[in-house]
Structure 1
């Protein structure tokens, strides 16, 4: 029979889950009544406690899946670009932390027991990267912010790493949207200064929009040159050199490297089991140039492979390098 303490824990979890479901349900039903003007009145009436009230409202809104962008704009209009960014970031981080802890308390043990297959691979990949994964998804919003907070709570990420990485790497987006809210208030007030601030806000948003591409290029840019590849092949018996060209290209021109294993890019997704032994071992990807290798790197990382690198220039660069050595 389960102990009294275990039964009490189960009851607490069910009560918390019920409260969360009711809260989210009410937030969805009444989200159209969420009035930033009313929020501004609350903040004004709270006096010196206004910023704290705003941060708490932002945190609760994050837990209940209310739209954070509206609050971020309101923070800029209420407090200006500097303090507004600080309060917005504090509220978003506090809410993200609360959602993370709620998910961990409610279901992390169950997920730990039940996760298998692709779900387990993804979970292990996230845990292996740790704060770097948090940094990436905060800079490049691949998943809805509110949902991601709960999802990450189901992993074994360290809470402190999650919280610090969230705060730091949400900063660019928080500042851009806070400044947009501030610029909107100034534009309504009128004057040339308001127009200039509006243009600056648009420039900041453009920079934030470009940031995912820049970060993706940096993330995918974990490359190795031919000289490094040769050293790795000679010194690291655990290295897998994976050639992702088609089988015809692998056996034809421009040749192949003796130690390479060929799995065409088109078959990679369906052959993850063949590579399972290399999930946490070094893998070097090569193709004719490096375009297919980059696509393969994205697929492998998505499936939890943690040490993937792309050979810059591919077989063209390999042959060019060998040819220059032969002529010298």
Structure 2
């Protein structure tokens, strides 16, 4: 087998594997599963559970399934530490997929995947790159996938995008995973503290949005 055919063979196999994974995950999302159902599904794979979870979270940008639901599920399934690690890995991979879909395939393809307009997000990121992506990631109310797709259409370097994503998602991932981890102790002090942490995250998000994002949006009108 020549080098040319070997390369083509690898590409075909990779596409087939990706299609199979995508179909499985898509069917899971179409079933409108709750947190308990996701837990049962992931745990059904035994030791492969963490890998399956990371794959599911990584493909969220292609399905627009609520990533907060998955993050809470990971805490319930794996606990706080492992749940955070697996979710962070999935978020970075998912963000990368969205970023390169936009960068390589362009605006027309992105429009078919999401309904939100990306113009204002693009303008902000083009102007202040790393800082804006970091601020947007710190705001869980702002759609994760919109930020990723929008970034891919700008001039921001991938290194800046992925670093801003990593640091910016730390609070949000921690809070949502912690809710899942503490949900087995409903009524306990730790459970109520996890709810307080969520409320604080939302309050800080609103403050950051009003102070940085809204101001930038007004400047880009």
Partner of residue 159, structure 1: 158
Q: Which has the higher strand share?
A: 1
1:200 corresponds in structure 2 to: 193
Match of 2:68 in 1: 69
> Is there any run of 5+ residues in structure 2 with no aligned partner, and where?
1-14, 111-117
- Offset of residue 136 of structure 1: 0.9
Map residues 210-221 of structure 1 onto 2, 5 A cutoff: 210-216=203-209, 219=212
- CA drift of 1:43 comes to 3.3
Gaps of 5+ in 1: 1-15, 112-118, 188-193, 221-294, 304-328
Contact 1:72 1:178 (C-alpha < 8 Å) held by counterparts: yes
Match of 2:126 in 1: 127
Which residue pairs with 1:81 in the alignment?
80
Counterpart for residue 182 of structure 1:
181
- How far the C-alpha of 1:186 sits from its partner, in A, is 2.5
Contact 2:29 2:63 in 1 (8 A): no
Relative to structure 1, the CA distance from residue 203 to residue 160 in structure 2 (aligned partners, 3 Å threshold; closer, same or farther) is same
User: Is residue 2:169 matched to residue 1:170?
Assistant: yes
CA distance in 2, matches of 1:110, 1:195: 47
2: CA distance between counterparts of 1:186 and 1:144?
29
Q: Deviations over 1:173-214 (max 9, x none)?
A: 111111111111222xxxxxx521211111111210121244
* CA gap 1:145/1:159 in 2 versus in 1, 3 angstroms: same
Equivalent residue runs for 1:224-263 within 5 Å: none
Aligned to 1:107: 106
Q: TM-score, normalised by structure 1?
A: 0.51
- Rate the CA distance shift 1:33–1:108 in 2: closer, same or farther, 3 A: closer
Change beyond 3 A, Cα 1:98–1:296? closer
- 1:309 corresponds in structure 2 to none
Equivalent position of 1:228 in the other structure: none
Distance in 2 (CA, whole Å) between partners of 1:57 and 1:216 is 29
SS in 2 for 1:130: helix
Structure 1 residue aligned with 2:43: 44
Larger Rg: 1
d(CA) in 2 for partners of 1:163, 1:35: 29
Distance 1:70 1:125, change over 3 A: closer
Bigger helix fraction: 2
Rounded Cα–Cα distance in structure 2 between residues aligned with 1:110 and 1:56: 22
- Residue number in structure 1 paired with 2:114: none
- After TM superposition, the score normalised by the length of structure 2 is 0.73
Bigger relative contact order (CA 8 A; separation at least 6): 2
Match of 1:299 in 2: 218
Separation of aligned partners in 2, 1:53 and 1:29? 12
Conservation of the 8 A alpha-carbon contact between 1:27 and 1:66 = no
Aligned-pair CA distance for 1:82: 1.6
Q: What is the RMSD of the two structures over their aligned residues, measured on CA atoms?
A: 3.4
CA gap of 1:141–1:46, structure 2 versus 1, over 3 A, is: closer
Which whole-Å CA distance do the structure 2 matches of 1:31 and 1:109 have between them?
25
What is the rounded CA distance, in whole Å, between the counterparts of 2:91 and 2:54 in structure 1? 8
